[in-house]
Amino acid sequence: MEKNFKIHTIGKATINSPLDLSKKRGDKIFNFVTENEKIIYNIFYENYNKCLKKNIMPLYMEKAGPREQIFFNPKNVKAAIVTCGGLCPGINNVIRGTVMTLHYFYGVEDILGIPYGFEGLNSSIGHKPIKLTPDKVKDIHEFGGTILGSSRGAQDVNDMVNYLVENNINMLFAIGGDGTLKGADAIGKEIDKQKLEISIVGIPKTIDNDIDLIDKSFGFETSFDVANPIIRNAAIEANGANNGISIVKLMGRDSGFIAASAALSMPVVNFVLVPEMNFQLKGENGFLKSLEKRLKSRKHAVIVVAEGAGQHLIKNGKTVKDASGNLKHHDIGLFLKEEIQSHFKSIKQEVTIKYIDPSYIIRSEKANSSDSIFCSRLAYHAVHGAMAGKTRFVIGVVNNIFVYLPISEVVKKRKKIDLEAGFWFAVLQSTGQPFNMS
C-alpha cells in the first residue's frame, strides 16, 4: 500500500509566532522551520536512483519545528493532555515538556490534564480535569508513571469530541501507543467531519518500540538500561550453580526490541527469544538441543525471552484480549521453565533454573538521561506543530531527524525486528545462538 505523509491542517496559519527566532542563516539564532523543508523517507541510493530515472519526487516527510506563522492565537488557546495505556518511563517528562513549552514559549495559560486516559474525556464517568501549571509539573520528571493516571479501552468518539467542545479545548495531546493513536485519529476524523478547529496530536508511547516508521519511541532506551543490571545478576546466578540456567522475561508483546537490545547491552546472554522467531523446542535444531550443547560446553546459560515469544508452542485453545484489544499472551517464561525442567529430567541431567520477571519494575522507572532529553524534544515539537494548526499527526524521529507523520500511517502495522537485518545479526553474534532453531 502506497504511503501518504501529507499532514492534515485545520486552516491557514496567518498569525505571527511569538517566538523571537531568525529567518536567515549565519546569525547564530535558531531559524523558523519552513514548509519547504522536507526530509526524504528512503535514504538509500537505490531509491534515489530509481526516482531520478523515473523523474518522480521521492517520498518525503515534514520537518518538525516552530513555524513563523501559526494558526492559533496563544491568548485563546486551551490545551489538554491525556495519557493512555500501560505505564512507560518518560510519560511525566513529556507532560512537563508540553506544559513548559505551551506556557513559556507561547504564553498559553489554560492547560488541563485529563485524568485516567480516554475515560477522562467521557463526562458521564465524572473524572475532573487537573489544572496544569509550570509549578505543578516542574518536578514530575523525577518520578515514573504518569501524574494524570491512565486507563485502557475505547470510549465513544462523539462523547469525547463533545467533551472537547463543551470545555472549549482546541488542542489535545494524546500520549500513548498504537491503540491510543488510533483513538486520537478517530477523534480527529470526527472533528474534521464537524469542521471544528481542534488540533489532535499524538506523542507515541510504547515501551516495546513497536510503532511503525519511527526510529524509536520514548521509554524504550530506559527499559533496556534498567534491564541491564538485572540480566547481569541473572548471569551471576547461573554461574553460581553447575548447569545453572537463568531465564529473564522482558516486555515485548509483538516485537522483541527490548529483549534483543538488552542482550546486546549486557553481552552475557546466550539465547534471545523474540516474537518474530518461529523457533521450535524439540528436534535436532530445536532450542532444547541447543541449550544442551551450551550446558555441556560452559556449564551455565542465560536466556532472555520477550513476553510474546513462543506463543505458537503453547496450545490450550483460549484466546483472550485486554481492554485495548491486544491479545493476552500466555506466560512464556513459566512455560519455558517447565519445558526445560521436563527435558533435562527426561535425559537425567540435573539443572538449576532461576526465573526472573522484572516487567512491572522496568515500566514504572523514571526516564534515564537519554530518554529524558528525547521526551523533552518530542514535547517541544508536538507543541510547535499544534500551534501551527497541524492535526492528526504524530511527532517522531525518522533517519535521526524530528518529523511530523500522519497518525493514520504509523498505525497501519506494528514495527517488528527484521530477522535479515543487521540489528538481529548483531544479536546473534553477541549471544552465539544458532541462526535457526526451527
Active site residues: 208
Rounded to an integer, what distance in angstroms lies between the CA atom of residue 146 and that of residue 143?
A: 8
Nearest one of 134, 100, 104, 110 to 20, comparing CA atoms: 104
C-alpha radius of gyration, the chain, whole number: 24
What DSSP letter does each residue of 105-147 carry, written as one string?
A: IT---EEEEESTGGGGG-TTT-PPPEE--HHHHTTGGGSSS-T
Q: Report how far apart, in Å, the C-alpha atoms of 224 and of each of 208, 262, 354, 417 are.
A: 10, 5, 20, 16
Residues tagged in the binding site annotation: 86, 152-153, 177-180, 206-208, 251-253, 307, 360-363
What is the C-alpha separation between 337 and 355, in angstroms, rounded?
A: 7
**280 with 289: CB under 8 angstroms?**
no
Q: 8 has which bridge partners?
A: 391
Distances from the Cα of 405 to the Cα of 227, 252, 376, 402, angstroms: 31, 24, 18, 10
* C-alpha cell belonging to residue 383: 507543541
At 49, list the grid cell.
536512483
Within 10 angstroms of residue 4's Cβ, the number of other Cβ atoms is 9
Residue from 255, 249, 253, 259 nearest 223 by CA:
259
Whole-angstrom distance, CA of residue 129 vs CA of residue 176: 18
φ and ψ at 321, to 5 degrees?
Answer: -120, 150
Q: If you count them, how many residues does the chain have?
A: 438
Q: Taking a C-beta distance cutoff of 8 angstroms, is the pair 351, 299 a contact?
A: no
